[in-house]
Homo-oligomer: A and B are copies of this chain.
Amino acid sequence: MAPFRLEIVTGSTTPIYRQIVEQVRVATATGKLKAGDGLTSVRRLAEELLINPNTVAKAYGELAREGVVESRQGLGVFVAPKRRVLSREERRRRLEQALDVLTQEALCLDFTAQQVRQALDKRLRKWPSKETA
């Protein structure tokens, strides 16, 4: 029934609503969720995950504001057609930020540049092949 299974970890440092946001975002980015697909309703998802509906609503609201999903009054929340919302600079800024985190962690863990490069390459080989625009 549910389009895909969300898994949330309570007691994590990342808040519940963020976990939902990220999992949905990834699902749309990888194609597990496609434009037009409906998300589990706020109330149902709240029941399934044993959390408050407001928390789900907050997550869905954020996804809607980002343009990842769109809510249709009285019908539910659906995956929006893909579009580029962020500017080139903003996307770059966020990528660099993510790189900060990675390189810092790798450095503290005493990995060499070569090791990090290889580990990343391995990941990127599994990268979902872009099928569309």
Point out residues on A near B: beta carbons under 8 Å. 10-11, 15-16, 22, 25-26, 29-30, 62, 65, 67, 70-73, 78, 80, 83-91, 93-96, 98-99, 101-113, 115-117, 119-121, 123-124, 127-128, 130, 133
- 8 shortest interchain CB distances as A-B pairs: A11-B70, A113-B124, A98-B105, A113-B127, A102-B102, A29-B107, A15-B73, A29-B108
Number of identical protomers: 4
Contact (A70, B10) CB under 8 Å given A91-B109, A102-B99, A105-B95: yes
CB A65 to nearest CB in B, in angstroms, measures 7
CB A105 to nearest CB in B, in angstroms, measures 4
